[in-house]
């Protein structure tokens, strides 16, 4: 692998690469505090993430589908290969950050990616993780986790009864810039009242530094969908469902 400092670190295979990479970061970048688990998750994410990062100028029709217990294989395949080829540091998450306690979880990142993968698959099959998926020409290209607020122990906000929290958007790199996230949010807004929810809550990034930093969704996108700011620190927006 090539470190961000441009040092090239080599080994015969990924398993043997973990130790030299950990040593390099301990010696040259100790401020990052990377553990063996962080390094292993990163390197193995690089191996799995075989999807392309090349942008597509014109994409086909975007189809929005709800996450159902039958969606598990599509979702796991998406996170395995297509979600983070440009950002392996997030490849171990499988959208388990908030179910595991969010920012209050001081051990986040120490879990093997296989554990997060298996737990998210189980949550989907049990109907605990819901939301929307985006497809183009039959291929899953986008994810929106909008599940019951009660499922996310790591969130702060208003009363949670009957509220769904919109916590994460992931769009495969080639399909970014085509409005996929907005279509996913529209799908949530149009269907969640029928799921029995009375409101939607979200935690957008006001001025994301880049598209990866906007995984919560942008404030502008939520406001265009009718959400109103209910808190500024932390930033929380809410939409009442009729």
Digits of tens for pLDDT over the chain (242 positions)? 888 899 999 999 999 999 989 999 999 999 999 999 999 999 999 999 999 999 999 999 999 999 999 999 999 999 999 999 999 999 999 999 999 988 889 899 999 999 999 999 999 999 999 999 999 999 999 999 999 988 887 675 555 678 999 999 999 999 999 999 999 999 999 999 999 999 999 999 877 766 666 799 999 999 999 999 999 988 999 999 97
pLDDT at 88: 93
Q: What secondary structure, in 3-state letters, does the chain show?
A: CECCCCCECCCCCHHHHHHHHHHHHHHHCHHHCCCHHHHHHHHHHHHHCCCCCCCCCCCCCEEEEECCHHHHHHHHHHHHHHCCCCCHHHCCCCCCCCCCCHHHCCCCCCCCHHHHHHHHHHHHHCCCCCEEEEEECCEEEEEEEEEEHHHCCCCCCCCCCCEEEEEEEEECHHHCCCCHHHHHHHHHHHHCCCCCCCEEEECCECCCCCHHHHCCCEHHHHHHCCCEEEEECCEEEEEECC
Task: Return the domain boundaries, the chain.
Answer: 62-240
**Range 62-240 classified under CATH 3.40.50.10090:** no
Predicted structure pTM score: 0.92
């Amino acid at each position: 692998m090539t470190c961000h400092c441009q040092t090239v670190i080599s080994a015969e295979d990924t398993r043997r690469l973990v130790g030299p990479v950990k040593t390099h970061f301990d010696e040259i970048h100790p401020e990052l505090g990377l553990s063996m688990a962080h390094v292993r998750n990163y390197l193995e994410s690089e191996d799995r993430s075989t999807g392309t990062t090349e942008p597509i100028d014109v994409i086909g029709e975007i189809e929005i589908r709800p996450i159902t217990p039958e969606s598990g294989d599509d979702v796991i395949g998406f996170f395995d290969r297509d979600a983070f080829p440009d950002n392996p540091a997030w490849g171990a998450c499988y959208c388990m950050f908030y179910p595991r306690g969010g920012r209050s979880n001081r051990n986040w990142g120490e879990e093997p990616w296989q554990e997060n993968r298996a737990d998210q698959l189980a949550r989907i099959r049990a109907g605990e993780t819901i939301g929307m998926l985006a497809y183009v020409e039959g291929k899953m290209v986008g994810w929106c986790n909008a599940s019951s607020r009660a499922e996310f122990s790591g969130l702060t906000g208003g009363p949670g009864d009957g509220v769904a929290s919109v916590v994460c958007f992931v769009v495969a790199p080639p399909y970014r810039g085509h409005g996929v996230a907005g279509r996913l949010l529209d799908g949530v807004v149009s269907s969640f009242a029928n799921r029995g929810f009375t409101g939607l809550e979200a935690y957008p990034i006001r001025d994301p530094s880049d598209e990866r930093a906007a995984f919560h969704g942008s404030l502008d996108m939520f406001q265009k969908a009718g959400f109103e700011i209910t808190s500024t620190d932390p930033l929380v927006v809410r939409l009442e469902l009729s």
